[in-house]
């Protein structure tokens, strides 16, 4: 089965500093990777995805992610963090069910806390 | 645009009771998903559907059932509720597995 791992439960960063939220993947074949964000008491919102092409993917709200095949990573980044970026971030991967259908599987999430 | 609508938003069930969580989407998406979110555990896939009449189990299907008789609706049935099913449940939909998934606001379920 394909999977993603988010090694950090929480990331703390000061406003204005660059931020990185880590994600590593375990995939056979070409990975289809995603990042989502969840604000308090809300459903998840899509940020960006990597299917193929450029290793640097740009997404919503100034976020970007770098796909690194040799390190099997897909880290989420932003050059300058905002307090409003504080939220729960999820990495996700396309996986295959037992019947061969494709599905979306999420990591455990990383809480980002940006301090003023 | 309504997007993905889940009802109810909150519910308290007694052990052994049953209920159905409703989910409907108005985007004509093929894929629909049910996830549960427990603190520190991320999102676990319960069931998913790739189209009307086609469903498949996810990571944690025990104690749940689903049906997909129409493109729009994907209800989740809990039979004989147990405290372990206390969680926040999210429904989502997407056109394909590779396109953006849209999530509902969630249903907070407590089993006592």
Read off the pLDDT of residues B95-109 as tens digits, 9 standing for 90 and up: 988 889 999 999 999
**Is B52 a residue whose pLDDT tops 90?**
yes
Residues of B in contact with A90 (CB under 8 A): 42-43
Instruction: Give the C-alpha distances (Å, rounded to integers) separating A69 from A8, A31, A93, A111.
Output: 20, 9, 14, 25
What is d(CA A23, CA A94) in angstroms, rounded to the nearest whole number? 14
Give B103's DSSP letter: E
- Does B105 touch chain A if contact means CB atoms closer than 8 Å? yes
Task: Work out the percent of chain A whose per-residue pLDDT is above 70.
Answer: 100
Q: Residue range A15-22: average pLDDT?
A: 98
Give A102→chain B minimum CA distance, Å. Answer: 6
What is d(CA A112, CA A81) in angstroms, rounded to the nearest whole number? 10
Q: Residue range B73-84: average pLDDT?
A: 96
Instruction: Give the C-alpha distances (Å, rounded to integers) separating A104 from A89, B14, B32.
Output: 15, 31, 10
Q: Tokens 């964000």 label which residue?
A: A37
Q: Name the residue in chain A with its Cα closest to that of B60.
A: A105
Closest CA to B3 of B37, B21, B42, B29: B29
H or E element that contains A87? strand A87-96
Read off the pLDDT of residues B20-42 as tens digits, 9 standing for 90 and up: 999 999 999 999 999 999 977 78
At A110, is the pLDDT very low, low, confident or very high (cuts 50, 70, 90)?
A: very high
Predicted confidence at residue B19, as pLDDT, reads: 96
* Contact between A104 and B50 using a beta-carbon 8 Å cutoff: no
Closest CA to B10 of B87, B83, B65: B87
């Amino acid at each position: 089965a394909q999977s993603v791992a988010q090694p950090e439960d929480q990331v703390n960063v000061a406003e204005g500093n660059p931020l990185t939220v880590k994600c590593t993947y375990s995939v056979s074949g070409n990975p289809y990777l995603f990042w989502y964000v969840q604000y308090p008491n809300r459903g998840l919102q899509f940020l960006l995805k990597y299917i193929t092409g450029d290793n640097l993917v740009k997404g919503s709200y100034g976020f970007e992610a770098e796909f690194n095949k040799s390190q099997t990573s897909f880290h989420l980044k932003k050059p300058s963090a905002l307090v409003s970026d504080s939220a729960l971030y999820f990495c996700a991967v396309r996986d295959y069910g037992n019947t061969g259908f494709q599905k979306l599987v999420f990591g455990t999430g990383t809480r980002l806390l940006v301090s003023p | 645009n309504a997007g993905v609508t889940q009802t109810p938003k909150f519910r308290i069930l007694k052990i052994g009771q049953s209920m159905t969580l409703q989910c409907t989407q108005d985007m004509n998406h093929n894929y629909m998903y049910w996830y549960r979110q427990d603190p520190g555990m991320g999102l676990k896939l319960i069931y998913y559907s790739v189209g009307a009449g086609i469903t498949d189990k996810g990571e944690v299907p025990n104690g749940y059932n689903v049906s997909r008789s129409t493109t729009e609706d994907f209800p989740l049935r809990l039979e004989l509720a147990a405290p372990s099913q206390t969680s926040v449940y999210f429904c989502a939909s997407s056109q394909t597995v590779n396109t953006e998934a849209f999530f509902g606001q969630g249903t907070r379920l407590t089993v006592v």
